[in-house]
Amino acid sequence: MSHDAPGGVVSYLDAGKGAGFWPWLKSWIFTVDHKRIGILYLVTIMSFFAIGVLLGITMRLELIAPGKTIIGPDTYNSLFTVHGVIMIFLFIIPGLPAIFGNFFLPIQIGARDVFFPRINLLSWYCYVVGAILAVVSLFAGGGAPDTGWTFYVPYAVRTTTNVTVAVFAAFVLGFSSILTGLNFVTTVHRMRTKGMTWFRMPLNVWSLYATAWIQLLATPIIAVTLILVMLERMFNLGLFDPARGGDPILYQHLFWIYSHPAVYIMILPAMGVVSEIIPTFSHKTIFGYRAIAMSSLAIAFLGYLVWGHHMFTSGMGDTSRWIFSLLTFLVAIPSAIKVFNWVATLYKGSVQMEPALLFVFGFIFLFSIGGLTGMMQSALAVNIHVHDTYFIVGHFHYVMFGGTGFGLIAAVLYWFPKMFGRMIPRKPLYIGFGFMFVGFNLLYFTMLILGWQGMPRRYYDYVPEFTTGHVIATVGSWILVAGLLIVAHTVLKAVIKGEPAPADPWGGTTLEWKIPSPPPHENFVELPVIEAGPYHRPGGKTP
């Protein structure tokens, strides 16, 4: 590892090395260093991403032809449930905030750690316990849960599969999410270094801050909802049981009061990453700093008021539908503000086409398709037509995978030199991106078309007319996974074999590029004093 730090400062990776295996292991799993906790999350979250991908392509393979191909219908039901639970609760919700938020939020505001370092470690343990429970629910006696990741009652109460364990897993993971959010909000409020005013914070910090508030304000609702499902299953509480006067629709309301804002927990941090990468590689200050910062808060706020659009077909008054539809259209405004500002930043910049930026372009393209198909569904008439079809599946994969997934890979490529002190070779990444981009669109754009034609989601079988579409989508999934493997292989190899990275390989302007790569344990030998905006370049006009 490179030691270009003055006075031989030990990097966070090397601290505690050289005393044997057990002390080394202990120095990791009992660490309270936000950077190490970020790495712990990186390893665990990416492992579950791999499992989620495996489940996903198994489903796609099953769907290559009508009827049974490789697995039975019950297994298929479990597969899409567990794919959803893992991808949502174990990968995409914690993903960016827990990995890169932990690692870079304190550094970017000039702090030595988060406000509650031990609670930070606790939240990783919650994640691990939740993950173990999720795995247990797969293999324990009753069989893997088969309700879909939404755990809709009454089926979630009636099925004999391991729904209780899976629901408890989601509950524990929610706890992890709350603790991370609590930590980030407190850290941003109390630990900004001297001169780091609110409007000098990097946009990544703004995004994480807005995300942290959603984590705090939305997650408790899913927590109580999941507790109620567990109580229904264990003690027969009856609150959602229509036979005894209960109302299952109330479950859907409570579920989506959390789960819609959760969508913004997933996408906002990726938008933050994009807002960092674009100014760096355009060698320009960001266009519309305040607009981007405020649009993060606007998304967090509006995201709270639109949950009803998941329930347009499940029984709701016309007035409510109309209002939810309108509010849903409104969310497009802050999202579009971001996209336009990013593009305006690139305009007339001296753009340096690094792989991280390429993935950001992928993000903008795919997220725009995801966002626009979302707008189509905000319209009531279209919504009822495409409800519960592949159109929905295609739409949210464009936003979640095309948006957050590509954003997360961009974050890995952008910050890898800082985190590990090594560079990643560019060429295989360009090739990997090519595969991913082509495979992605083959897979999910075909889904949009299939859905428009009427293919329902979550179906094990289909009429022969849909075969061509399903074959294209399955082939697309292979190309996509091939691209993922190329990228993963390149990155993993670079952990050991990459060229040593300088402190600032990209010409970035935020604080993490002003400390050695990898950073020393304390981040800063002396806490910096901030005198200009985060994207200020000497000689540039704007702050």
Residues that bind another protein (CB under 8 A): 10, 14-19, 23, 27, 112-113, 115-116, 178, 182-183, 185-186, 189-191, 216-217, 219-221, 223-225, 227-228, 231, 235-239, 244-247, 250, 254, 257, 521-522
Beta carbon nearer to another protein, 8 or 141:
8
Q: At closest approach, how far in Å is the CB of 372 from another protein?
A: 33
Beta carbon nearer to another protein, 59 or 214:
214
- CA distances in angstroms from 410 to 108, 132, 188, 416, 419, listed in the order given: 18, 28, 24, 10, 14
Q: At closest approach, how far in Å is the CB of 8 from another protein?
A: 12
Please state, in angstroms and rounded to a whole number, the distance separating the CA atoms of residues 276 and 260.
Answer: 26
What single DSSP character describes residue 327? H
* Residue 439 CB partners (closer than 8 Å, separation 6+): 476, 477, 478, 479, 480, 481, 482, 483
Q: How many CA atoms lie within 13 A of 465 on its CB side?
A: 7
Q: Which of 300, 447, 309 is closest to 376 using CA atoms?
A: 309
Classify burial at 422, counting beta carbons within 10 Å of its beta carbon; exposed 0-12, middle 13-18, buried 19 or more: buried
Beta carbon nearer to another protein, 339 or 527:
527
Q: At closest approach, how far in Å is the CB of 405 from another protein?
A: 28
Beta carbon nearer to another protein, 14 or 499:
14
Please state, in angstroms and rounded to a whole number, the distance separating the CA atoms of residues 342 and 470.
Answer: 35
Q: At closest approach, how far in Å is the CB of 245 from another protein?
A: 3
Q: At closest approach, how far in Å is the CB of 486 from another protein?
A: 37
- Residue 500's φ and ψ, nearest 5 degrees, are -60, 140
Beta carbon nearer to another protein, 23 or 195:
23
Beta carbon nearer to another protein, 225 or 295:
225
Please state, in angstroms and rounded to a whole number, the distance separating the CA atoms of residues 179 and 167.
Answer: 19
> Could you tell me if 232 and 241 are in contact, meaning their C-beta atoms sit under 8 angstroms apart?
yes
Beta carbon nearer to another protein, 15 or 140:
15
Q: At closest approach, how far in Å is the CB of 307 from another protein?
A: 13
Beta carbon nearer to another protein, 219 or 296:
219
Beta strands in 2-85 (DSSP E): none
Q: At closest approach, how far in Å is the CB of 89 from another protein?
A: 17
- CA distances in angstroms from 62 to 4, 52, 75, 471, 472, listed in the order given: 52, 16, 11, 10, 13
- Residue 11's φ and ψ, nearest 5 degrees, are -75, 160
> Could you tell me if 86 and 52 are in contact, meaning their C-beta atoms sit under 8 angstroms apart?
yes
What b/e sequence results for 352-366 when a residue is b if at least 16 CB atoms lie within 10 Å of its CB, and e otherwise? eebbbbbbbbbbbbb
Beta carbon nearer to another protein, 221 or 357:
221
Beta carbon nearer to another protein, 338 or 521:
521
Q: At closest approach, how far in Å is the CB of 65 from another protein?
A: 44
Beta bridge partners of 389: 456
Q: At closest approach, how far in Å is the CB of 126 from another protein?
A: 14
- CA distances in angstroms from 314 to 146, 320, 384, listed in the order given: 21, 12, 10
Q: At closest approach, how far in Å is the CB of 327 from another protein?
A: 19
Please state, in angstroms and rounded to a whole number, the distance separating the CA atoms of residues 290 and 532.
Answer: 15
- CA distances in angstroms from 537 to 360, 510, 512, listed in the order given: 22, 10, 15
Please state, in angstroms and rounded to a whole number, the distance separating the CA atoms of residues 43 and 174.
Answer: 19
Beta carbon nearer to another protein, 251 or 444:
251
Beta carbon nearer to another protein, 50 or 525:
525
Beta carbon nearer to another protein, 3 or 283:
3
Q: At closest approach, how far in Å is the CB of 209 from another protein?
A: 13
Please state, in angstroms and rounded to a whole number, the distance separating the CA atoms of residues 368 and 339.
Answer: 8
Q: Which two structure tokens, joined as six digits, stand for 400?
A: 């979640």
Query: Strand, coil or helix: what is 347?
Result: coil
Q: At closest approach, how far in Å is the CB of 187 from another protein?
A: 9
> Could you tell me if 34 and 114 are in contact, meaning their C-beta atoms sit under 8 angstroms apart?
yes
Q: At closest approach, how far in Å is the CB of 114 from another protein?
A: 10
